[in-house]
Amino acid sequence: MFAVTRNYTGASALMDAMEKRQNEVEQLITTVPGFVSYFAIRAGDSMTSITVCDDRKGVEETTRRAAQWVRENLKDVKIAPPTVTTGEVFISFLRSGVGHA
């Protein structure tokens, strides 16, 4: 498995848009082949998203789709590009009954 984190600062408008269009964001990310899980974490006006997929190709596709969605849906909003970190998942823990990693 592979994971990618995307860390945005000054992202209040992005988080608001994602909340309002949550179904669209879900469709965008979960339809990537090999998708496993997605989390968006709010910390004040900063946001971190975490996506896990079966392989590197999947997480790279989610990053491409996320960037495209931001460009298309927040044209009038100044959002700095996120800091992106991609890597292989080498340890994972899930609460029993949540699913598997």
- Distance CA(16)–CA(13), nearest Å, equals 5
Burial (CB < 10 A; 0-12, 13-18, 19+), residue 93, is exposed
Tokens 């800091």 identify what position? 83
- Distance CA(29)–CA(61), nearest Å, equals 9
Q: What domains does the chain contain, in order, with CATH numbers?
A: 2-88 (3.30.70.100)
Residues in CB range of 34: below 8 A, 6 or more apart: 53, 54, 55, 57, 58
**Whether pLDDT at 97 is above 80:** no
* pLDDT tens-digit map of 23-32: 999 999 999 9
* pLDDT tens-digit map of 2-27: 999 999 999 999 999 999 999 999 99
Distances (CA, A) of 68 to 27, 96, 101: 14, 35, 27
**Whether the Cβ atoms of residue 71 and residue 17 lie closer than 8 Å to each other:** no
Looking at residue 95, its pLDDT comes to 85
Q: What is the percent of the chain where pLDDT is above 70?
A: 95
